[in-house]
Amino acid sequence: MASGILVFSEHDGGKIKKTAFELIAKAVSLNMGPVSAVVVGAADTSALGSYGATTVYTVSGDAFSSYTTGTYTKALAAVIAKADPAVVLGAASNLGKDLFPRLGARLGAGVITEATELSNDGGLVAHRPVYAGKALVTAKPSGLALVTVRPNSFGAPTAGSGSAEVVAVDAGVSAADAKVNVLESKKSDASVADLTEADKIVSAGRSIKTAEQYDSIIRPLAASIGATPGASRAAVDAGYAPHSHQVGQTGKVVNPNLYVALGISGAIQHLAGMRTSKVIVAVNKDPDAPIFAHATYGLVDDLFDVAPLLQKEFEAL
């Protein structure tokens, strides 16, 4: 009978991402049976056991040099057949959002996306925001459940002293399973975390006024606390920041511990992408700006005066 939780553990060039450790630690705390991890492609899996995984399934080979939906779906389906888990967790990252629905279709399993809380009530219970975060769905899956979880939902776990048994799985995947040829992969700036996984984000709105000011004010301010720069759609549409920086309904959904919004009004479409942030700091000249209704800390002031002072304080930390 299916039991336990399998965590799809993403890696970046062989380095396991922190979201995998976060999910493994959460899976252990749910107390739903053995917790195992699956890693596809060549990666250093040694730390997974210290967060509570007792078995690490690895699937490797030339077919996994680049991500493709076809190869990863086949690999995960083979590991799920072997491990027989009740629940499979993965990050609601770009990759997870692509992979899990396809896996659900392949296995005829239910998929819950973008969960922000998980609990055990005689079986898994997942909570996920809907309607731009205005309502919360509580879902209890029946049968095998595939669940993607927003990064940073549970906080940074502490490593213990455990270790995991590593089991190599031959999933019979070949390049032909890719169905596409990946010609080139272009990485965004590797020095900052991807917005969807960032722990801290500093975002600017239309009020930043020029791309030069975005580059000379927002990027250095973000860098001073190791944050990822973000932007509202108005700032992106005006050409001040690249589209990859857009937060919101038609941009990226983020879930950082700290979200600094400089000169952003707080339109519903922007809130849809960041309202689950743990701490929101808003700076806006207009005391009636909607963002203040969602801010943990609000400052009615000019961002051009506040940004340099903030940067000085961040650098002093």
Spatial separation of the C-alpha atoms in residues 13 and 219, rounded to whole Å: 25
Terminal CA-to-CA distance of the chain, rounded, Å?
52
- Residue 207 is a binding residue for ligand FAD (CB under 6 A): yes
Contact with ligand FAD (CB under 6 A): which of 82, 102, 206, 278?
206
Contact with ligand FAD (CB under 6 A): which of 19, 153, 284, 311?
284
Minimum CB distance to ligand FAD smaller for 58 or for 311: 311
Minimum CB distance to ligand FAD smaller for 77 or for 267: 267
Minimum CB distance to ligand FAD smaller for 68 or for 276: 276
Q: Which of these ranges, 5-13, 74-82, 177-185, 232-240, lies near ligand FAD under the rule CB under 6 A? A: 232-240
Query: What are 58's strand-pairing partners?
Result: 39, 168
For residue 205, the minimal CB distance to ligand FAD (Å) is 2
- Residue 302 is a binding residue for ligand FAD (CB under 6 A): yes
For residue 295, the minimal CB distance to ligand FAD (Å) is 12
- Residue 283 is a binding residue for ligand FAD (CB under 6 A): yes
C-alpha 94, offset from chain centre: 8
- Residue 244 is a binding residue for ligand FAD (CB under 6 A): no
Binding residues for ligand FAD, how many (CB under 6 A)?
A: 28
Phi, psi of 233, deg, nearest 5: -65, -35
CA distances from 7 to 48, 99, 113, 270 (A): 10, 13, 15, 30
Residues 6+ apart with CB under 8 A from 187: none
Contact with ligand FAD (CB under 6 A): which of 96, 141, 263, 298?
263
Q: Give the chain's length.
A: 317
Can you tell me which residue has the tokens 């108005």? 234
- Residue 234 is a binding residue for ligand FAD (CB under 6 A): yes
Contact 22, 154 (CB under 8 A): yes
- Residue 218 is a binding residue for ligand FAD (CB under 6 A): no
Contact with ligand FAD (CB under 6 A): which of 89, 149, 264, 295?
264
For residue 272, the minimal CB distance to ligand FAD (Å) is 7
Minimum CB distance to ligand FAD smaller for 104 or for 263: 263
CA distances from 32 to 137, 230, 275 (A): 22, 37, 30
Contact with ligand FAD (CB under 6 A): which of 149, 173, 303, 310?
303
For residue 248, the minimal CB distance to ligand FAD (Å) is 2
Contact with ligand FAD (CB under 6 A): which of 74, 219, 270, 294?
270
The single-letter code of the amino acid at 301 is: D
- Residue 246 is a binding residue for ligand FAD (CB under 6 A): yes
Contact with ligand FAD (CB under 6 A): which of 104, 205, 229, 298?
205
For residue 55, the minimal CB distance to ligand FAD (Å) is 40
- Residue 93 is a binding residue for ligand FAD (CB under 6 A): no
Binding site for ligand FAD (CB under 6 A): 205-207, 232-235, 246-251, 263-265, 267, 269-270, 273, 283-286, 289, 302-304
